[in-house]
């Protein structure tokens, strides 16, 4: 199966979450891998992509011959949305899909990390949420724990629902951690009943739903 890791915004912890998912997948007995089609803010080597490559190769020996070009095919220096960062260069969506299938041939579960949030532009009229839809895969929305995250979370979940994209969400509990249970948790508990803080449980649901 394939899962697209997205977020409410940049800097929320997609790569951190993905690295944890890779390790959990190994514990679940699954051959896992990561793929990040586009990384911006790259001066020498892609920081996030390099972490994902190392972790993927560590837990899945089938990936020993992969290179950073396989994991992060598009890398741009400007720390901006891909549409801006590419500065007129072309992003070939077919190439992205080819890279995905190349890696997927060597694993049971592939995590694909987007750049920024759902409405980050890749092309003038093509956004991250469009890429998820084009790939026909479920999404995992990573949300922050800081003050203001309720609004970001609800807007992003609404966007996924409107596109009929199967999804779950996960709270990366790191910002305003001390006040989260007083300031934010009460609403989440009343509105959603279940507050998604356990990544192991979330991965179990995905594997049960798509790999049974």
List the CATH number of the domain containing 143: 3.40.50.300
Residue spans of alpha helices (H) in the chain: 14-27, 47-59, 68-71, 82-85, 93-104, 128-135, 149-162, 177-183, 185-192, 199-210
Which amino acids are annotated catalytic?
A: 36
Beta bridge partners of 110: 2, 33
Domain housing 99: 2-207
Residue spans of alpha helices (H) in 45-172: 47-59, 68-71, 82-85, 93-104, 128-135, 149-162
Asked whether residue 95 is domain-assigned, the answer is yes
What confidence category does residue 44 fall into, taking pLDDT thresholds of 50, 70 and 90? confident
* Mean pLDDT of the region 175-185: 94
For residue 83, pLDDT over 70 is answered with yes
Asked whether residue 155 is domain-assigned, the answer is yes
Asked whether residue 116 is domain-assigned, the answer is yes
Asked whether residue 212 is domain-assigned, the answer is no
Annotated binding-site members for substrate? 40
Asked whether residue 135 is domain-assigned, the answer is yes
Annotated binding-site members for ATP? 11-16, 113-116
Annotated binding-site members? 11-16, 40, 113-116
For residue 209, pLDDT over 90 is answered with no
What confidence category does residue 212 fall into, taking pLDDT thresholds of 50, 70 and 90? low
Burial 118-146 (b: 16+ CB within 10 A, else e): bebbbeeeebbbbbbbebebbbbbbbbbb
* Mean pLDDT of the region 29-45: 96
Asked whether residue 195 is domain-assigned, the answer is yes
Give me the number of domains the chain comprises.
1
User: Are the beta carbons of 17 and 170 closer than 8 angstroms?
Assistant: yes
How far, in Å, CA of 163 to CA of 132, rounded?
Answer: 10
User: Are the beta carbons of 5 and 113 closer than 8 angstroms?
Assistant: yes
For residue 137, pLDDT over 60 is answered with yes
* Non-local CB neighbours of 100 within 8 Å, separated by 6+ positions: 2, 35, 37, 110, 112, 135
How far, in Å, CA of 17 to CA of 194, rounded?
Answer: 19
pLDDT in tens, 85-128: 999 899 999 999 999 999 999 999 999 999 999 999 999 999 99
For residue 210, pLDDT over 80 is answered with no
**In the chain, what percentage of residues exceed pLDDT 70?**
99
Asked whether residue 157 is domain-assigned, the answer is yes
Q: What is the DSSP letter of 142?
A: E
Beta bridge partners of 5: 113, 140
């Amino acid at each position: 199966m394939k899962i697209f890791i997205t977020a409410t915004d940049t800097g929320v912890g997609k790569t951190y979450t993905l690295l944890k998912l890779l390790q959990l997948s190994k514990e679940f007995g699954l051959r896992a891998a990561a793929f990040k089609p586009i990384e911006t803010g790259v001066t020498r080597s892609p920081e996030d992509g390099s972490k994902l490559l190392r972790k993927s190769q560590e837990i899945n020996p089938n990936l020993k011959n992969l290179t950073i070009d396989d994991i992060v095919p598009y890398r741009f220096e400007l720390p901006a949305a891909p549409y801006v960062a590419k500065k007129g260069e072309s992003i070939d969506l077919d190439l992205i899909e080819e890279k995905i299938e190349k890696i997927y041939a060597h694993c049971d579960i592939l995590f694909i990390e987007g750049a920024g949030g759902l409405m980050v532009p890749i092309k003038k009229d093509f956004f991250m949420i469009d890429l998820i839809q084009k790939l026909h895969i479920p999404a995992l929305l990573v949300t922050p724990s800081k003050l203001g995250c309720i609004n970001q979370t609800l807007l992003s979940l609404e966007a996924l629902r409107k596109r009929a994209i199967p999804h779950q969400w996960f709270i990366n509990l790191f910002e305003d951690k001390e006040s989260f249970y007083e300031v934010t948790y009460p609403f989440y508990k009343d509105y959603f009943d279940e507050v998604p803080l356990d990544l192991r449980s979330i991965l179990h649901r995905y594997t049960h739903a798509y790999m049974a």
